Structure 1
Amino acid sequence: MAYRWETPASVWLEDEHSGQFELLASEGLGRIDRHAQARGRLPDVARLLGASLPTSCDCAPVYPEGFAFCPNCGRPLDRMTAHSTPADWWGPHSDLFLPRHVPHGLPVTSVPLADSLEQRQSVPHVGRFDVAMRVPPNAHCVFAAAGYGFPVQRLLALAFTRGVLQYWDPMAQLWHVMAPEGADDDLVFTESGYAWLPAFHPQRGEVAIVPTACGLRRLWVNPVNESFRTEPVLEGRIVAAPGQMRSHIACLYQDGQGVWLWSARSDDSERQGYDCGDVPAAGWTQPFGYDGRLFWLHEQGQLVWRPGEAPRFMPWPQGWQPRLSFGGPTQSRDGRLWHIGHDGLAYSFLELGADRPQREPIDGARLGFANLLYRRGHPVVDEPWSGEQVEDQQEDESLVQPLLRGFNSDRSQPSGLVLRFHKYTGRAEDALADRVIARTTIEWIGRRNVILDEVARLSRPLECVPFVYDSILWLHHPDWNQIRGWRLEELS
């Protein structure tokens, strides 16, 4: 016989002979597999559920939520109550806390990184990473750090090209590959740049709306079982990742009649569909939002949509090709968005979202986005087409690739995380491809420039993924055998 204990969120069974507690059910988690409650997973499970752990007794390895003393020996227990958690991280493309005058969907974050990173020793001192984390088994992935309705923050790594969801157990310092609960729970998506729509007021276990090969799905996780499930939001072949403009969400999908733009409010009401005409059915960038509109970019043109209106596809001018790998759109001082491209003879910036776009010629490639722009090793601090600001002539032989801009309303000039390729004089396109860079430094550029680390023989730098988890700035590359991290003490 087993005694049944009911807490506000869970149901536990206590074996009358052994005194061991077994989790039977918990809100939002669905079926609980008793074999999943291995002793090595209990410290993490207890923190997730807010359960209690023993401190000095061996009567049971875990106790239901709210237990302050062992019912067998009376010794005190460690109650896993919720503590203040760091800010959620869904990738810089999903930061909804940015002001409206900053484009949403670009690698720009409102997490205050500069205040901490700029306390480190500045250039020319070369730093080293503070902590390291194991690389996920499936290394080509995007990261999310959030609570998902639980009282503590946890890290997920989604390898979307293979449909593999991975969960970081911070107590055991291990990655767990989560198993799908049903045959329809397939997370593979390869049609465009990746983006997901996080649940900002999640129920327990609710993660995000994710694009898949068969439609938009709502993703739920069960960390106790190490499993996940999905619910359908939109059926159809997704052509481009979803985006959000204030209270509206939208994505491109394809049916037998062509490509359509599907939209709805965040509460899944007011669903609408718009015929996009003869537009490409693959190869779009992840969307970004600005001035009340969502933009998807493609090698053939741009698709622009304002909620309540029909989408418009605008091909690029004849002979002009965008350089989508150079970063992303940037702003001029009057607030317009621009994208870099090449017309076969020279580079230029083209105005986005305009029927008759203005074009501004430039004298060389510029890498970056959202005003964090570099020409070779020098910043561009005025208009996107202005000349670079030369502070050190030796940087003419380097090339800077911005990774992440840190937004701070108190700063007149942008700051951010960059890679600096030293002694590199080749084309920017080659550096961003498979060419091996002999020496690269990871730097924070701001009021004080800090070299965070040094990397030998880096290739495919566009695969570097920065993320923030547990008050640490991490940088991941699929070729590295560990993820490098720098503590953000100011966020603790």
Structure 2
Amino acid sequence: MAYRWVTANSVWLEEEHNRFELEAGRDLVRIDWPAARHRLPDVAELLGAALPAGCAHAAIYPEGFAFCPDCGAPLRTTPARHLPSWWGATTANLAADDHPLPRHVPHGLPQTALPLAAALETRPPEPARGQAELKIPAPPNAVCVFAAATFGFAVQRLLALAYTRNVLQYWDPHAQRWDVLAPEEGTADLRFDGSQYAWLPIVQPARRGEVALVPSEQGLYRLVIDPIGATFRTEPILEVPLVASPGAVGRRIACLVVSGAHYARTVRLWTAAPDGADPEALDIASLAPDVPVPTAGWARPYSYDNQLCWLHEEGQLLWRPGSAPRWQPWPFPWQPRLQCGGPTRSRDGRLWLLGHDGAAYSLRELGTEGPGQVEPIDSVRLGFGTLLFRRGHQVKDDPWAAPDVEDQNREDAYVLPLLETVGAARSQPSGLVLRIEGFTGRAEAALSGEVLPRTVIEWVGQRNVILDDVARLKNPADCVPFVYDGKLWLHHPSWNAIRGWHLKEQA
């Protein structure tokens, strides 16, 4: 005879010999227990269930159980622990517990409001050299983006989406391995490599397993995972070919889509509410009708001052809700250097982009009607937001201002910012950078495949801290920082392991 135990999220069956199995779970299909037996610690944490600690009367117990109902032995449960979610560069608004970016900074750049400096700057400052304190294996499909959140379950978990290969990978912290989630029948192909990748997280899932709105070459989809059954599925929001990643501004989401026959393809802007309601397709006004809106090669969008912007080697596309989107090609012969960073912010709040006119470098004002103001500079400056460097020297004033020269020896180095931390307590720009030492060539060469003999992973802020160093690194801009399980991690597609550092303040 079987007994039913009803909990807040599930209905469990107690079979003979005190064997518990999940009969029905909120937003979950029935669990294949024979397949799940080898990963019970992970399954129990996800469900908030309990495991035996001093007896063997059952392999798993429903959530809320503290003692074995047969012998009274205490059970092993996972204590409640809130960790802020991580989504990388996104224009979506995060929940208050996830440390959302303040409104005065652009959303969609590699920036975070997590107080990382409080933990990282307690380490010995340079010239002392640290090393990675933790390592986990790199995902089998290494070109990916990371997300860390509860996704509606009881604990935080880490996902790695290999968006060029349609592979979704799930980190099992107990087995210390990456599991590849299998697509359910009818799931859309998630490949998207025609532009830089960005997704829109579902911050407060209405159902367990909801992850994000994700772009695909076939359209925009809601991604839903079942980590218990090791599967995932998609739900369509828009099934039209996308040419750029989606963005959010105010209470609207938007993406660039292509319509028409192959010989007469037209790019339009599609917008809707975050749940896909109230959709609208808008024609794009062009300031130069002879320069068509590109159908590939876009950078991920950013939002600023209630305006959404996509950047391209040929121009910028701007949209403010309630008005028509407009396409503005760059004035000839000026061309941007998107590989050197992204929009940088001046002290008066305007955004600027690095470029070259064939004779010299300059910074061009973004987001304005018309060509915008131009500020000449003497050389490449790497960075975004307010974290900007001219060679090895940090620029702490306007983006075109002279850098602070604290050490003349750093003239033979390039500093590439990876992640900026933004907070009211910060009196100067700070964040995670790569210091490319002893490199006297052009910045474009350092970023485009040359072997870099020595690269230092460094935190710059009120105290500069050397976290680790790397030999023979190529393509340093491919490094992906993220925060998971109260730790800072750094991944590069060529590394066998992801390097990590403790963030005790986030634990």
Aligned to 1:64: 62
Could you tell me how far apart the structure 1 residues matched to 2:371 and 2:450 are? 37
Structure 1 residue runs without a partner (length 5+)? none
1:440-479, aligned counterparts within 5 Å?
A: 440-479=455-494
Query: Which one of 81, 89, 101 corresponds to residue 86 of structure 2?
Result: 89
Could you tell me how far apart the structure 1 residues matched to 2:69 and 2:269 are? 59
Aligned partner letter, 2:68: C
3-state DSSP of counterpart to 1:44: helix
TM-score by length of 2: 0.94
Query: Which one of 47, 69, 75 corresponds to residue 73 of structure 2?
Result: 75
> 1:34: Cα distance to partner?
3.5
3-state DSSP of counterpart to 1:353: coil
Aligned partner letter, 2:132: F
Aligned to 1:102: 105
> 1:8: Cα distance to partner?
2.4
Equivalent residues of 2:200, 2:213 under 8 A apart? yes
Pairing 1:391–2:388 present: no
Aligned to 1:119: 122
Aligned to 1:262: 270
Could you tell me how far apart the structure 2 residues matched to 1:337 and 1:387 are? 18
> 1:167: Cα distance to partner?
0.6
> 1:31: Cα distance to partner?
4.6
Aligned to 1:296: 310
Pairing 1:22–2:37 present: no
Equivalent residues of 1:248, 1:266 under 8 A apart? yes
TM-score by length of 1: 0.97
Aligned partner letter, 1:418: V
- After superposition, give the CA deviation of every residue in 1:57-76 in whole Å (9 maximum; x if it has no partner): 11111011222322333322
Query: Which one of 346, 358, 363 corresponds to residue 349 of structure 1?
Result: 363
Could you tell me how far apart the structure 1 residues matched to 2:26 and 2:35 are? 17
Equivalent residues of 1:36, 1:226 under 8 A apart? no
3-state DSSP of counterpart to 1:462: helix
- After superposition, give the CA deviation of every residue in 1:109-165 in whole Å (9 maximum; x if it has no partner): 000011111110001001111111111111111100101011211111111111111
Aligned to 2:352: 338
Equivalent residues of 1:126, 1:452 under 8 A apart? yes
3-state DSSP of counterpart to 1:37: helix
Could you tell me how far apart the structure 2 residues matched to 1:441 and 1:187 are? 34
3-state DSSP of counterpart to 1:328: strand
Could you tell me how far apart the structure 1 residues matched to 2:410 and 2:92 are? 32
Could you tell me how far apart the structure 2 residues matched to 1:210 and 1:95 are? 12
Could you tell me how far apart the structure 2 residues matched to 1:337 and 1:302 are? 13
1:37-436, aligned counterparts within 5 Å?
A: 37-38=36-37, 40-81=38-79, 83-94=80-91, 96=93, 97-202=100-205, 203-256=207-260, 258-276=266-284, 278-354=292-368, 355-436=370-451
- After superposition, give the CA deviation of every residue in 1:429-450 in whole Å (9 maximum; x if it has no partner): 0100110000110000001111
Aligned to 2:288: none
Could you tell me how far apart the structure 2 residues matched to 1:66 and 1:405 are? 41
> 1:95: Cα distance to partner?
6.8
Equivalent residues of 1:92, 1:404 under 8 A apart? no
3-state DSSP of counterpart to 2:242: strand
> 1:270: Cα distance to partner?
2.3
- After superposition, give the CA deviation of every residue in 1:208-236 in whole Å (9 maximum; x if it has no partner): 10001211000111011111011000111
Equivalent residues of 2:200, 2:248 under 8 A apart? yes
Aligned to 2:12: 12
Equivalent residues of 1:185, 1:230 under 8 A apart? yes
My pick for the range that moved more, 396-405 or 87-96, is 87-96
Could you tell me how far apart the structure 1 residues matched to 2:297 and 2:156 are? 33
3-state DSSP of counterpart to 2:119: helix
> 1:94: Cα distance to partner?
4.9
Aligned partner letter, 1:360: E
Structure 2 residue runs without a partner (length 5+)? 94-99, 286-291
> 1:11: Cα distance to partner?
2.4
3-state DSSP of counterpart to 1:116: helix
Could you tell me how far apart the structure 1 residues matched to 2:450 and 2:66 are? 59
